Amino acid sequence: MRDQGRLVEWLDDKGYGFIQPNDPNKQRVFLHIKDFARPGPRPIVGCALEYIVLLDGQGRFRAQQVTYLKASQTGVKPKAKVPPPQKYSVMQLACMAYFVVLAVLVIAGLLSGLVLLLICLMNAASYWFYAQDKEAAQLGGRRVPEQTLHILAFLGGWPAAWLAQQKLRHKTQKQPFRKVYFCTIALNLLLILWLISPLNSLLI
């Protein structure tokens, strides 16, 4: 059965992108330039496509026998208005509050500035590793171990990990991974509480 959707992401230099089906409940579909049924113009973001969906060896939905659609052939009407920007989510507020609290603790002398620097480095590393794992998943390369991503999150990189999940659309629907991820957030907060408590015998 053929499906319809629009191209929402396209990396022309790499020759692949992603289709968002007209049904918003369906996941995005991977598209490679060689999957078009016949030669044609280079794809551009926003173009309407018709295709067959298959599940490839990497467990992702992939489009096959892709063809371009004219406006009269699409099953949805163009939207007249752009939806208003969404308000901050709970996780966005939590990430911002996390860094504000850390900064306050450093200023108050309850937490070492080196700890804050380490956490910033963990966030930079966390986003980078998520991006590498996303690219490896798309191209069939060597994946980043999930344990590495969880360790970075536990060491304070969980805000960047959440940002990478949302921006890169990666690891957002894998439930076992998501459960462990939220556990690493709780453990990191407990670690911060221990560092500022009298029980901390370390010189940090």
* pLDDT tens, residue by residue, 121-175: 999 999 999 999 999 888 888 999 999 999 999 999 999 999 999 998 888 877 8
**Structure confidence at residue 126 (pLDDT):** 96
Q: Which helix (H) or strand (E) holds 19?
A: strand 16-21
Record the pTM: 0.57
Q: What is the pLDDT of residue 102?
A: 96
> Which amino acid is residue 161, in one-letter code?
A
Least confident of 36-45, 88-97, 110-119: 36-45
pLDDT class of 40 with cuts at 50, 70, 90: confident
Dist. CA 135–CA 166, nearest whole Å: 15
Residue 1 binned pLDDT confidence (cut-offs 50, 70, 90): low
Residue 114 has pLDDT above 90, yes or no: yes
pLDDT given for residue 187 in this prediction: 97
- Tokens in use for 172? 């957002």
Residue-wise pLDDT for 52-108, tens only, equals: 988 877 777 899 889 988 765 555 555 556 666 666 789 999 999 999 999 999 999
So what's the pLDDT on residue 193?
95
Q: Roughly how many angstroms between the first and final C-alpha of the chain, as a whole number?
A: 61
Q: Reduce the DSSP state of residue 72 to 3 states and report it.
A: helix
The larger pLDDT score, comparing residue 73 to residue 199, is at: 199
Average pLDDT rounded to a whole number, residues 178-196:
95
